[in-house]
Amino acid sequence: MGVKLLLAKAHIEGIRSYDVYRREGGYQAVEKALKTMSPDAVVEEVKKSGLRGRGGAGFPTGMKWSFIAKPEGVPRHLVCNADESEPGTFKDRYLMEHIPHLLIEGLIVSSFALGSNNTYIYIRGEYAWIVDILEKAIEEAKQNGWLGNNILGTGFDCNIYVQRGAGAYICGEETALLESLEGKRGNPRIKPPFPAIKGVWDRPTVVNNVETLAAVVPIINLGGEEYAKIGVGRSTGTKLISACGNINKPGVYEIDMTISVEEFIYSEEYCGGIKNGKRLKACIPGGSSVPILPANLLLKTAKGETRYMNYESLSDGGFATGSMMGSGGFIVFDEDQCVVRHTYTLARFYRHESCGQCSPCREGTGWMEKILLRLENGHGKMSDIDLLWDIQSKIEGNTICPLGDAAAWPVAAAIRHFRDEFEWHVLHPNEAQVRNFGLAHYADPLQVPAGA
């Protein structure tokens, strides 16, 4: 069993309520931080922990915190990003639903570190019931003196507010989120200025993911150095992975980042292998925006080394032969899945979710969707494949926010690794309507579940 820090107590009966959470050692991190540490010391501890943002980009959290501007007399804000709308990602939901006080505790400590007296949780509108859970938790925390004015007699004031989004993926992008939080249309801002200088209402702001902020609790409890001992290299601590697709046990797993991808997919402790005894074809290891990998490149890197479930190993090989940890949305495909259809589905998603501000993303995503649909329906041409490649390359890097890249990468990776499947769709249009391409060389050598 790997180390569990976030979900270790998530299964205790009643942990959602304040009393049980407190009895199980909850809010000790707030006590420790507020009573015995200075805000800067908390930031220092988070730096030492090596914690990296869990929202997708993996930016070192301590460093991000130290960038926040501190102009005299201007309030600062912490904003928790609970918009979680990336296809395949549902880890924050699990955390907030089962152990909401962990997030609230993390928010209080982090607000203290950053000097945020008014902290916001921006949550996707579809998580309507979780809003109730969070508001109840906030109310309980307030009644027990963990929120409000002069917390624990330290003079530190903190309030937490929950703001619901209205169902746009783009509002998870941090500057779009801030616009939306201000009550405006959720268009990403043009950076610079960065939120650390001018964020919500032009005040210095830090935006962090739910899991990132929850991880601050074990960091304070254990100390940054102890936390950093879990994991390997620059992948410290534990990571929540939401696993879905053709596996026996979909769900949210907390891993310490030392296990191999193979172990994660095939061991009984985690995904429990591919469903119905089928074979593994491909996998998107970090949410819909990261490159898809064929089975052979997933389990082993191009150099033939075992691939592990951590930031460095998943991105080994760059975009040519690697992928990314992303937000931890682990989507597994078995031999019956069609990569063209899947790529079309993602393209449709990104087209629908583009905010429409910049021309390459607004027009390019729709164009890619149309071509992919044509290919999937057997009306495609060979030249469509190169055209798709060209379109994605003209979107990537040329847009305001990373949604453009996120729309381009899945298409690029699918063509890069599964070009033969696209060509098969063109050459066998009728057959492609009745059966799937199945496996090809990229599923060799097939892994026999190790020790399973």
Partner 1 sequence: MAEETLFKVTIDNITVEVPAGTTILQAARKIGGEVTPPAMCYYSKLQGSGGKCRTCLVEVSKGSEKDPRPMPKLVASCRTTVMDGMEVKNVTSPRVQEARAGVVEFLLINHPLDCPICDQAGECHLQDLSYEHGKEGSRYEFQKRTFKKVDLGEYIQLHMTRCILCYRCVFAADQISPKREHGVLDRGDHAQIATFIQKNLHNEFIGNVIDVCPVGALTDKTFRFKNRVWFTKPVNAHRHCDKCCGEVQLWLRGDEVFRVTARKDEWGEVKEASNGKTGWICNDCRFEKKNLADWVIEGPTNVNRHSVIAQNKYVGLVKPTETFPAIMKGRNPKLLMDIHSVSEVNKPNIHLSQLERPAHSTDFNQ
Ligand X SMILES: Cc1cc2nc3c(=O)[nH]c(=O)nc-3n(C[C@H](O)[C@H](O)[C@H](O)COP(=O)(O)O)c2cc1C
Contact residues: ligand SF4, CB under 6 A: 170, 188, 354-358, 361-362, 399-401, 403-404
The whole-angstrom separation of Cα 358 and Cα 395 is: 10
- The reply to whether 362 sits near partner 1 by the rule CB under 8 A is yes
Stretch 364-393: interaction string toward partner 1, x if CB under 8 A: xxxx--x----------------x------
In the complex with ligand SF4, the residue whose CB is nearer, 165 or 322, is: 165
152, 145 in Cβ contact below 8 A? yes
Eight-class DSSP state of 443? G
- CA-wise closest residue to 275 among 241, 308, 244: 244
Binds 387: which of ligand SF4, partner 1, ligand X, none (CB < 5-8 Å by kind): partner 1
- CA dihedral of 420, 422, 426, 432, whole degrees rounded to 10: 100
Q: Which of 55, 88, 195, 360 binds partner 1 (CB under 8 A)?
A: 360
- Token pair 């979107």 is found at 395
| Nearest approach, Cβ of residue 170 and ligand SF4 (Å) | 5
| Nearest approach, Cβ of residue 86 and ligand SF4 (Å) | 13
209, 53 in Cβ contact below 8 A? yes
Question: Which residue type sits at 229?
Answer: K
Q: Which of residues 398-437 bind ligand X (CB under 6 A)?
A: 401-403, 406
Task: Tell me the H-state helices in 230-290.
Answer: 261-266
Q: Which of residues 367-396 bind ligand X (CB under 6 A)?
A: none
| Nearest approach, Cβ of residue 171 and ligand X (Å) | 8
In the complex with partner 1, the residue whose CB is nearer, 110 or 354, is: 354
In the complex with ligand X, the residue whose CB is nearer, 173 or 376, is: 173
Q: Which of residues 300-319 bind ligand X (CB under 6 A)?
A: none
- The reply to whether 209 sits near partner 1 by the rule CB under 8 A is no
Q: Which of residues 313-352 bind partner 1 (CB under 8 A)?
A: 351-352
3 state DSSP class of 228: helix
In the complex with ligand SF4, the residue whose CB is nearer, 61 or 187, is: 187
- The reply to whether 181 sits near partner 1 by the rule CB under 8 A is no
Binds 84: which of ligand SF4, ligand X, partner 1, none (CB < 5-8 Å by kind): ligand X
| Nearest approach, Cβ of residue 355 and ligand X (Å) | 9
The whole-angstrom separation of Cα 278 and Cα 275 is: 6
- The reply to whether 363 sits near partner 1 by the rule CB under 8 A is yes
The whole-angstrom separation of Cα 7 and Cα 434 is: 44
Q: What is the CA radius of gyration of the chain?
A: 22
- CA-wise closest residue to 104 among 220, 12, 195, 216: 216
- The reply to whether 177 sits near partner 1 by the rule CB under 8 A is no
Q: Which of residues 93-152 bind ligand X (CB under 6 A)?
A: none
Rounded to the nearest angstrom, the gap between the alpha carbon of residue 162 and the centroid of all alpha carbons in its chain is: 20
Q: What share of the chain is helix, strand, coil (3-state, %, to 5)?
A: 45, 15, 40
The whole-angstrom separation of Cα 307 and Cα 315 is: 9
The whole-angstrom separation of Cα 150 and Cα 343 is: 52
The enclosing H or E element of 288 equals: none
Q: Which of 68, 134, 207, 214 binds ligand X (CB under 6 A)?
A: 207
Stretch 69-98: interaction string toward ligand X, x if CB under 6 A: ------------x-xxxx------------
- Residues of this chain that interact with ligand X (CB under 6 A) are 53-57, 59, 61, 81, 83-86, 169-170, 172-174, 207-209, 212, 401-403, 406
